[in-house]
């Protein structure tokens, strides 16, 4: 799953890499603990050259009361055991919360890394999960929607992150789900609603374990109120070697902090 993540790039870095500009008056600031309900940077299929701030936690347009659906499963109600080699249907197409958005309301969720809790210990032993070789920022595959508060008339733009079965690395945390991380160069494909759905569904894959790493961080991540670069200080060893990569255990947190 992915209920916490990190986005600490400077605006100009995000604009350069994703070839888009922040909209006027975008209230963006670096965050080491983006949580459900927070505003975070996204790029939607309707405005592929704009970076906007949407609320983390999808609120479908058709619901009466506010919801915060922060993750949607690529397999929907299928693959209950979260098997890595699951080859069945993409149940996300039959989920009423995600069917329409998947077809016509997709977005890129801009991130540098994410925080994963242990299935055994929860946020008493969280890990920061990142891509090797300094591959950041990157984009999660997301869906978005706009909900109107009937009492106030307020329009709320929100998003959810699509998840898939975890790879071998994340299962060592342990956790059995992970967000869909789009390979560099496939971001525009995800945003292109003219693409055949079969091509879109092929993007809902588990990211290769050998291209990722993780290390334990402070249990203070259990609070959604805390923030700051100190949260990334390692509390133990990496799960895998970064041999041949540009970043190492102690340097990882420093590299993430330098963009803020």
CATH of residue 226? 3.90.1680.10
Neighbours of 39 (CB within 10 A): 18
Which of 38-42, 119-123, 163-167 shows the lowest mean pLDDT across its residues?
A: 119-123
The Cα–Cα gap between 214 and 203 comes to 23
Distance from C-alpha of 179 to C-alpha of 184, rounded to nearest angstrom = 15
Please name the residue that has the structure tokens 């706009």: 146
pLDDT at 97: 84
What is the total count of domains within the chain? 1
pTM of the model: 0.93
CB 4 within 8 A of CB 29: no
d(C-alpha 138, C-alpha 80), whole Å: 28
Domain assignment of residue 46, given as a range: 4-257
Question: What tokens appear for 214 in the block?
Answer: 């993780």
* pLDDT above 60: residue 165: yes
pLDDT above 60 for 174: yes
Is the bond preceding residue 5 a cis peptide, omega within 30 degrees?
Answer: no
Share above pLDDT 90 across residues of the chain, in percent, rounded to a whole number: 82
The neighbour count for residue 82, using CB atoms within 10 Å, is 17
Inform me whether the pLDDT recorded for 9 exceeds 70. yes
Alpha helices in 56-203 (DSSP H): 99-104, 187-191, 197-201
pLDDT tens digits for range 57-116:
999 999 988 889 999 999 999 999 999 989 887 899 888 888 899 999 999 999 999 999
Condensed to tens digits (0 to 9), the pLDDT of residues 227-239 reads 999 999 999 999 9
């Amino acid at each position: 799953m992915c209920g916490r993540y990190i986005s600490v790039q400077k605006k100009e870095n995000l604009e350069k890499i994703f070839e888009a500009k922040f909209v006027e008056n975008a209230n963006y600031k670096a965050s080491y603990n983006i949580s459900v309900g927070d505003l975070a940077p996204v790029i939607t299929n309707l405005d592929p050259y704009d970076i906007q701030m949407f609320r983390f936690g999808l609120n479908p347009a058709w619901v009466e009361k506010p919801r915060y659906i922060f993750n949607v499963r690529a397999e929907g109600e299928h693959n209950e055991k979260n098997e890595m080699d699951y080859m069945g249907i993409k149940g996300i197409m039959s989920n009423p919360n995600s069917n329409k958005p998947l077809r016509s309301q997709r977005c890129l969720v801009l991130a540098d890394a994410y925080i994963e809790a242990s299935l055994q210990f929860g946020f008493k032993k969280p890990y920061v999960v990142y891509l090797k070789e300094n591959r950041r920022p990157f984009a999660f595959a997301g869906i978005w929607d706009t909900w109107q508060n009937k009492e106030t008339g307020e329009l709320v733009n929100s998003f959810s992150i699509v998840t898939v079965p975890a790879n071998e690395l994340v299962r060592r945390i342990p956790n059995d789900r992970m967000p869909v991380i789009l390979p560099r160069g496939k971001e525009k494909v995800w945003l292109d609603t003219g693409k055949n759905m079969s091509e879109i569904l092929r993007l809902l894959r588990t990211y290769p374990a050998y291209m990722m790493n993780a290390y334990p961080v402070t249990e203070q991540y259990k609070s959604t109120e805390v923030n700051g670069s100190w949260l990334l200080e390692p509390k133990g060893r990496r799960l895998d070697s970064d041999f041949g990569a540009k970043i190492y255990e102690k340097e990882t947190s420093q590299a993430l902090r330098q963009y803020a």
